[in-house]
Amino acid sequence: MGYYITVERNVKIFVEDTDPGHGKPILFIHGWPLNHKMFEYQFDQLPKMGYRCIGVDLRGFGKSDRPWKGYSYNRLADDIRIVIDTLRLEDITLAGHSMGGAIAIRYLARHAGHKVSKLALIGAAGFTRYPEYSYGLAKEEVKRWERSWNKLIEATYTDRPKMLDGVGDIFFARYVTGSFKEWFHGLGIEASGHATAKCAVSLRDEDLGSDMSKIHVPTGIFHGKQDRVCPFVFAELMHARIRGSKLIPFKYSGHGLFYEELEKFSRELVRFIG
C-alpha cells in the first residue's frame, strides 16, 4: 500500500509499504535520479521470504512533493528519520543505492543509527575527500568525479532527457532490453528537474569521510566491479572506513547490480540480513 508522510510544513513524501506491521523491515532508499520503483523486482520477491519492503520516494522524486529547498544530505536523512518514527519501525535494515547509500551513511552518523540494526550499501556514492588516497582515490580522480557531476548538472538544466539517456548508457554493464531501458528512463523523467540538479550538487560536494567512522551496525557493501557511475574504489574506501563491514563484489555488474545480477543480489541481501 502507498501513503504520504509529512516531513515538514507543506512537504509530504510518498512511501510504498508491502505489508504494514508484518515481516522484518527493509527500508529502501533509491538512487539519483530515480524513485522507489527501481526496486520493483526486490519488492516482488522478498515479501515471499518474510521481509517487509518499504520504499521511500525522496523529496523531489517519484510521487513525493517537490519543494524548492531541502536537498542536502542532512535534510534528506532527517526525512528518513521522520518516516521511521512515523511508521514506528524497529530493527530495520536500511538499504540505500547510490545517492540513497550516501543518505543512509549520513543517517547512521547524524541520527546515531536510530532504529537501524543493519546497513546495506548498494553501489553507494561513498564519496570522500580524505587526504589518505591509499585505496586509489587519487586527487585527479576526485577532480574527475567533480567534473563529471558539473556536466550532469549543466545538462539537467539544458536537456534533461538527453542527460538521462547518457546516465542510462553507463548505468548497466550487462545487456538490458530496449523496453527495460525505456521503463528505467521513465523513472528519471518522473523526477523534478530542480531536485535532480540540486541532488547532483550534493553528490558532487558532500563529503562522507567523517560519517563512516560513526557507523556501528553490521554493514554489507554490495558493489559492481564494473561500476562506471560510482567506481569500485568507493566500495574499497567504505570497506576500509566502516569497522567490521563486509564487501560483497558483483563481478559482472555495473551500477545496476540489483538488476544485472538479480538472483545473486537477492540471495546475498537475504544472507546478510538473516
Mean of the pLDDT values across residues 121-139?
72
d(CA 39, CA 192): 20
Mean of the pLDDT values across residues 137-159?
83
Task: Choose among 149, 241, 165, 129: nearest CA to 202.
Answer: 149
Give yes or no for residue 225 having a pLDDT over 70.
yes
Give yes or no for residue 28 having a pLDDT over 90.
yes
Let me know: does 157 contact 28? Beta carbons within 8 Å: no
Q: Which pLDDT score, from 0 to 100, does residue 144 have?
A: 78
Let me know: does 195 contact 66? Beta carbons within 8 Å: yes
Q: Which pLDDT score, from 0 to 100, does residue 148 have?
A: 87
Task: Choose among 55, 95, 69, 15: nearest CA to 202.
Answer: 69
Give yes or no for residue 132 having a pLDDT over 80.
no
d(CA 196, CA 264): 30
Q: Which pLDDT score, from 0 to 100, does residue 135 have?
A: 52
d(CA 80, CA 64): 13
The rounded Cα 211 to chain-centroid distance in angstroms is: 16
Q: Band of the pLDDT at 223, cuts 50, 70, 90?
A: very high
Give yes or no for residue 254 having a pLDDT over 50.
yes
Q: Band of the pLDDT at 147, cuts 50, 70, 90?
A: confident
Catalytically active residues are 98, 227, 255
Alpha helices of 9-118 — where are they, by DSSP H?
40-45, 73-86, 99-110
Q: Which pLDDT score, from 0 to 100, does residue 138 have?
A: 59
Burial per residue of 72-108, b for 16 or more beta-carbon CB atoms within 10 angstroms, e otherwise: bbebbbbbbeebbeebebeebbbbbbbbbbbbbbbbb
Mean of the pLDDT values across residues 178-187?
96
Q: Is the model more confident about 169 or about 145?
A: 169
Per domain, the residue ranges of the chain are: 2-273
Mean of the pLDDT values across residues 259-268?
97
Give yes or no for residue 133 having a pLDDT over 50.
no
Range in 75-79, 107-111, 145-149 with the lowest mean pLDDT? 145-149
Q: Is the model more confident about 147 or about 92?
A: 92
Reported as a single tens digit per residue, the pLDDT across 58-89 is 999 999 999 999 999 999 999 999 999 999 99
Residues 6+ apart with CB under 8 A from 207: 127, 128, 129
Residue 27 β-bridge partners: 54, 94
Q: Band of the pLDDT at 22, cuts 50, 70, 90?
A: confident
Give the type of residue at 101: G
The rounded Cα 121 to chain-centroid distance in angstroms is: 7
Q: Which pLDDT score, from 0 to 100, does residue 143 have?
A: 77
Superfamily of domain 2-273: Alpha/Beta hydrolase fold, catalytic domain (3.40.50.1820)
Mean of the pLDDT values across residues 149-172?
95
Q: Which pLDDT score, from 0 to 100, does residue 77 have?
A: 98
